[in-house]
């Protein structure tokens, strides 16, 4: 799309050609395009943009409708920050040749400069489709998607798309001068998506590069840190400092590496060195606070963490450490006050805000309400770990907020804490079932089953005949004669059977394979009544054969209505399967276009529909137009409703969840990225 190799030599030859033939508009347009390439891709800067603009305007003097010159002029004006004038040139070029890839690319850059990154992405995607063999649109789109991901909080799918387009640009053979730039950008994307081993490969290749070698040392330090190779992280970061001088952020990273190596004094020294350079560096202050804790200077650590929160209220690790310190001191009063303060302040904080960057240069966007909810979650977890009855404290805070979501979170936390406390008592019953069995105790266990280990539920089933005889004496006192004693034993046997039946139902609520196997054994080996209880439990787990056995037993006693009542109360477990990709089955047909699997890259198949990757791409290009706000619509491929999905799109009568679209689009992209890294 643009000239790159031997660019200076090419421009020199064109300049000589124009000296001999100044009216040669073809050569002049090539000359202008070369300067634009120099400005956009080879650090030509403002001078190159001005030269490209001048030459493009001279072409337009001879040919006012020359689309190539209009694009060069518009792109140059965009690079110079003159967006209004650039728009006029690019709109004119778009009218003349709407399918031109370079005009779409220039429009993408224009929208990017104007701050509309969503439209910029759409334009560059169009450019990629119009010029499938050019690496430039893929490279620019990959970088743009990385910027867009920063704006949206780093959604993984967008970061993966950025990786894919950079890899595609590498496959298409960029100029040697720009290959290192692409590798560097790809390495950064790998860091952000957690592909640390792949990032290690890329930055290892770049560490001797003239332009990117120093940055590669810094990134190798980060990669080594994330891989747990803390000595290597220190080594790489020190090499970076040797060539770049003092850097607070790098010293802070070195300090954290020392902390992981349990060299606390060195960690503190590195943090203090960072703070001497940049007193507001959050990473250094955080590392210093952790070092104080390791050395047992708790009050110093508390002061450090409080200082961090004064400057950065959204710094969750510092808040978490303060809460942990109070939890370890079993300071329920402080935790309760912290919860009331956070809940009470939730409705008053703005939805979006900005705070000063730690360096004092500019600001960063924060989400105060999300940060508040995260802190509330931390306090609730600490209260739950205290083991005290703090449910009333939690319930009292519900009146301090109007947020239904937060009120629901507090309500569930209080109920979970109450249930957890009761579960500890129920656990005692399960440890000694021979002494604690009984219908009421069984009902308690069934109610609290989700808080109890399945192994303990299974253990609770073990009640022996000796346990019944002992309970007959301990619970009813010495009998006056043998018949009275036998009657007491029979009553305890009924209590034990009720206990076992309720425990079988409790096992069913866990919905595990081991639990199902246990119930199948009891249904076949136990006496008829307990076998019925096991079959009822199997019905709860969705077993299709158990109801017929229960109905037959009930018919013998004239109690079929009880089975009907049971089945009416039990909702069968929701059967959901993730949509699966199919690529080679001739019988699989797209529900929206009729293509068969071998005709496309893949078809996503769900229980009620199948959609090919080409239709998925069309959905992705028209998300806004296809989105529905009907809460009753569910995805035909995954079963997800609008409440469970980011968005639902209706495409040719088939509802499709946004997550399914993203999964389909990402399959081929991830495969290409994986193949590229394997080739390294």
Q: What is the pLDDT of residues 164-180, one digit of tens each?
A: 999 999 998 887 778 88
Q: What is the pLDDT of residues 8-25, one digit of tens each?
A: 899 999 999 999 898 899
The reported pLDDT for the residue numbered 355 is 60
Distance CA 145, CA 139 (A): 10
- Do residues 91 and 189 share a domain? yes
In the structure encoding, which two tokens stand for residue 583, read together? 């690529």
Q: Which residue has the higher pLDDT, 352 or 603?
A: 603
What share of the chain has pLDDT > 90, as a percent? Answer: 61
Q: Taking the C-alpha atoms of 666, 667, 672 and 674 in order, what is their torsion angle to the nearest 10 degrees? A: 100
Long-range CB pairs of 619-623, under 8 A, 24+ apart, other chains included: 619/649, 619/651, 619/656, 619/661, 620/661, 620/665, 621/122, 621/125, 623/647, 623/649, 623/658
Residue 632 burial by CB count (10 A; 0-12/13-18/19+): exposed, middle or buried? exposed
The reported pLDDT for the residue numbered 359 is 47
Q: What is the pLDDT of residues 506-536, one digit of tens each?
A: 999 988 999 999 999 999 999 888 999 999 9
- Do residues 168 and 308 share a domain? no
Residue 424 lies in a domain: no
Largest Cα–Cα distance of the chain, in whole Å? 130
Residue 143 lies in a domain: yes
In the structure encoding, which two tokens stand for residue 474, read together? 């301990």
Range 96-102 average pLDDT: 91
Q: Taking the C-alpha atoms of 356, 359, 361 and 363 in order, what is their torsion angle to the nearest 10 degrees? A: -30
- Do residues 165 and 16 share a domain? yes
Range 224-228 average pLDDT: 95
- Do residues 455 and 413 share a domain? no
Looking at 393, 418, 443, which one is the last position of a domain? 418
Range 318-346 average pLDDT: 94
- Do residues 601 and 627 share a domain? yes
Bridge partners (DSSP) of residue 212 are none
CA dist 101 → 5, 37, 57, 141 (Å):
21, 15, 21, 13
Residue 504 lies in a domain: no
By C-alpha distance, which of 660, 646, 649, 597 is closest to 621?
649
- Do residues 567 and 586 share a domain? no
The DSSP annotation for 501-520 comes to: HHHHHHHHHT--HHHHHHHH
Domain with residue 46: its CATH number is 1.25.40.10
Range 324-340 average pLDDT: 93
**pTM for the structure as a whole:** 0.74
Residue 204 burial by CB count (10 A; 0-12/13-18/19+): exposed, middle or buried? middle
The reported pLDDT for the residue numbered 541 is 87
The reported pLDDT for the residue numbered 572 is 56
Q: What is the pLDDT of residues 584-596, one digit of tens each?
A: 888 999 999 999 9
Put residue 280 in one of left, alpha, beta given phi > 0 → left and psi -120 to 50 → alpha. alpha
Residue 299 lies in a domain: yes
Distance of CA 335 to the CA centre of its chain: 29
User: Average per-residue pLDDT in the chain?
Assistant: 90
> If you search the block for the tokens 């109450």, which residue do you land on?
418
With a cut of 60, say whether residue 203 has pLDDT above it: yes
pLDDT confidence tier of residue 117, bands split at 50, 70 and 90: confident
Distance CA 72, CA 102 (A): 9
Lowest mean pLDDT among 117-131, 311-325, 564-578, 616-630: 564-578
- Do residues 392 and 372 share a domain? yes
Distance CA 252, CA 271 (A): 5
- Do residues 173 and 90 share a domain? yes
With a cut of 60, say whether residue 113 has pLDDT above it: yes
The reported pLDDT for the residue numbered 356 is 62
The reported pLDDT for the residue numbered 594 is 93
Residue 400 DSSP one-character state:
G
With a cut of 50, say whether residue 416 has pLDDT above it: yes
- Do residues 156 and 63 share a domain? yes
**Tally: H helices and E strands in the chain:** 34, 8
Distance CA 621, CA 632 (A): 24
Bridge partners (DSSP) of residue 364 are 355
Q: How many Cα atoms occupy the beta-carbon half-sphere of 579 within 13 Å?
A: 29
Distance of CA 172 to the CA centre of its chain: 30
Strand order in the sheet with 627-628: 627-628, 648-651, 654-657
Residue 53 lies in a domain: yes
- Do residues 461 and 396 share a domain? no
Looking at 448, 468, 496, which one is the last position of a domain? 496
Bridge partners (DSSP) of residue 268 are none
Mapped onto helix, strand or coil, the DSSP state of residue 581 is: strand
Enclosing domain of residue 487 = 432-496
With a cut of 90, say whether residue 501 has pLDDT above it: yes
Range 23-52 average pLDDT: 92
What share of the chain has pLDDT > 70, as a percent? Answer: 97
Residue 232 lies in a domain: no
The reported pLDDT for the residue numbered 363 is 57
- Do residues 477 and 604 share a domain? no
The reported pLDDT for the residue numbered 354 is 64
pLDDT confidence tier of residue 142, bands split at 50, 70 and 90: very high
Range 182-211 average pLDDT: 92
pLDDT confidence tier of residue 5, bands split at 50, 70 and 90: confident
Q: What is the pLDDT of residues 349-382, one digit of tens each?
A: 887 766 665 544 555 567 788 889 999 999 999 9
Run of H or E including 134: none
Distance CA 318, CA 302 (A): 9
Residue 506 lies in a domain: no
- Do residues 314 and 347 share a domain? yes
Distance CA 162, CA 159 (A): 5
With a cut of 80, say whether residue 443 has pLDDT above it: yes
Residue 220 lies in a domain: no
Secondary structure (H, E, C), 35-63: HHHHHHHCCCHHHHHHHHHHHHHHHHHHC
Domain count, the chain: 5
With a cut of 50, say whether residue 438 has pLDDT above it: yes
Residue 402 burial by CB count (10 A; 0-12/13-18/19+): exposed, middle or buried? exposed
Q: What is the pLDDT of residues 628-675, one digit of tens each?
A: 999 889 999 998 888 888 899 999 999 999 999 989 988 888 888 999
With a cut of 80, say whether residue 611 has pLDDT above it: yes
């Amino acid at each position: 799309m643009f000239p790159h190799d031997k660019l200076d030599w090419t421009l020199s030859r064109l300049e000589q050609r124009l000296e001999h033939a100044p009216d040669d508009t073809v050569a002049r347009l090539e000359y202008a395009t070369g300067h634009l390439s120099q400005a956009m891709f080879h650090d030509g800067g403002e001078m190159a943009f001005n030269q490209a603009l001048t030459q493009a305007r001279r072409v337009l003097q001879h040919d006012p409708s020359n689309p190539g010159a209009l694009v060069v002029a518009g792109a140059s004006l965009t690079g110079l920050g003159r967006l209004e004038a650039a728009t006029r040139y690019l709109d004119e070029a778009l009218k003349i040749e709407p399918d031109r890839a370079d005009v779409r690319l220039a429009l993408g850059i224009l929208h990017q400069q104007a701050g509309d990154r969503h439209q910029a992405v759409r334009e560059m995607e169009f450019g990629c489709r119009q010029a499938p063999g050019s690496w430039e649109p893929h490279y620019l789109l990959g970088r743009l998607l990385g910027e867009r991901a920063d704006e949206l909080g780093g959604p993984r799918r967008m970061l993966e798309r950025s990786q894919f387009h950079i890899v595609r640009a590498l496959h298409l053979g960029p100029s040697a001068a720009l290959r290192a730039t692409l590798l560097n950008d790809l390495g950064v994307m790998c860091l952000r998506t957690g592909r640390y081993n792949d990032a290690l490969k890329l930055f290892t290749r770049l560490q001797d590069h003239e332009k990117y070698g120093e940055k590669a040392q810094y990134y190798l330090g980060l990669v080594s840190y994330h891989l747990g190779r803390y000595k290597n992280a220190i080594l790489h970061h020190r090499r970076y400092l040797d060539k770049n001088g003092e850097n607070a952020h790098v010293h802070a990273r070195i300090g954290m590496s020392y902390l992981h190596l349990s060299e606390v004094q060195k960690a503190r020294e590195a943090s203090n060195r960072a703070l001497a350079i940049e007193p507001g560096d959050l990473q250094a202050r955080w590392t210093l606070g952790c070092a104080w804790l390791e050395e047992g200077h708790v009050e110093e650590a508390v002061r450090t963490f409080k200082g961090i929160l004064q400057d950065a209220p959204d710094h969750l690790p510092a808040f978490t450490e303060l809460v942990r310190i109070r939890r370890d001191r079993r300071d329920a009063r402080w935790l309760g006050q912290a919860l009331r303060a956070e809940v009470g302040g939730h409705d008053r904080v703005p939805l979006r805000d900005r705070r000063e960057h730690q360096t004092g240069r500019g600001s960063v966007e924060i989400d105060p309400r999300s940060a508040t909810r995260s802190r509330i979650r931390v306090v609730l977890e600490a209260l739950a770990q205290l083991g005290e009855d703090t449910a009333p404290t939690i319930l009292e805070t519900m009146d301090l907020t109007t947020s239904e979501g937060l009120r629901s979170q507090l309500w569930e936390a209080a109920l979970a804490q109450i249930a957890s406390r009761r579960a500890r008592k129920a656990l005692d019953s399960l440890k000694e079932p021979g002494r604690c069995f009984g219908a009421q105790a069984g009902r308690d266990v069934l109610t609290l089953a989700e808080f109890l280990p399945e192994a303990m539920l299974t253990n609770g089933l073990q009640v022996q005949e000796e346990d019944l005889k002992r309970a007959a004496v301990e619970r009813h006192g010495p009998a006056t004669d043998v018949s009275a004693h036998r009657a007491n034993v029979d009553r305890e046997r009924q209590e034990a059977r009720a206990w076992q039946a309720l425990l079988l139902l409790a096992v069913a609520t866990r919905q595990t394979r081991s639990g199902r196997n246990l119930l199948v054994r009891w249904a076949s080996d136990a006496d008829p009544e307990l076998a019925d209880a096991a079959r009822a439990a199997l019905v709860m787990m969705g077993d299709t054969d158990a109801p017929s056995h229960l109905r037959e037993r009930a018919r013998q006693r004239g109690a079929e209505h009880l089975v009907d009542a049971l089945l009416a109360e039990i909702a069968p477990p929701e059967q959901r399967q993730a949509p699966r990709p199919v690529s080679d089955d001739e019988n699989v047909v797209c529900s929206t276009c009729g293509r068969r699997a071998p005709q496309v890259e893949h078809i996503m198949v769900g229980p009620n529909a199948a959609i090919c990757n080409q239709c998925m791409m069309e959905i992705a290009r028209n998300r806004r137009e296809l989105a529905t706000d009907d809460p009753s619509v569910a995805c035909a491929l995954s079963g997800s409703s609008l409440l469970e999905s980011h968005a639902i799109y209706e495409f040719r009568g088939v509802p499709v969840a946004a997550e399914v679209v993203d999964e389909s689009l990402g399959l081929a992209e991830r495969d290409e990225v994986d193949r590229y890294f394997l080739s390294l």
